[in-house]
């Protein structure tokens, strides 16, 4: 699965479940680029906690 596919799927799901989000974002949920990085030796639990706190 490509990054663009992932971005499309998540933005459709987000906007389908929250119509007000589509209006607020003016139909642009994601920026055209993307960022990818590794986390080194961090457990999945630590990563999930970090994501939940964002």
The tens digit of pLDDT for each residue in 3-53 reads 778 888 888 888 888 888 877 877 677 767 767 777 788 888 888 888 888
pLDDT of the residue at 46 = 87
Q: Where are the alpha helices (DSSP H) in 1-54?
A: 3-17, 19-25, 44-52
* Whole-model pTM over 0.75: no
pLDDT at 1 over 80: no
DSSP helix/strand/coil, 5: helix
Domains in the chain, number? 1
- In residues, how long is the chain? 54
Residue-range definition of the domain harbouring residue 19 = 3-52
Q: What is the pLDDT of residue 27?
A: 63
């Amino acid at each position: 699965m490509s990054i663009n596919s992932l971005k499309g799927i998540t933005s459709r799901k987000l906007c389908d479940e929250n119509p007000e989000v589509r209006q607020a974002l003016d139909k642009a949920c994601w920026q055209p680029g993307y960022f990818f990085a590794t986390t080194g030796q961090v457990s999945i639990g630590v990563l999930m906690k970090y994501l939940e706190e964002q």
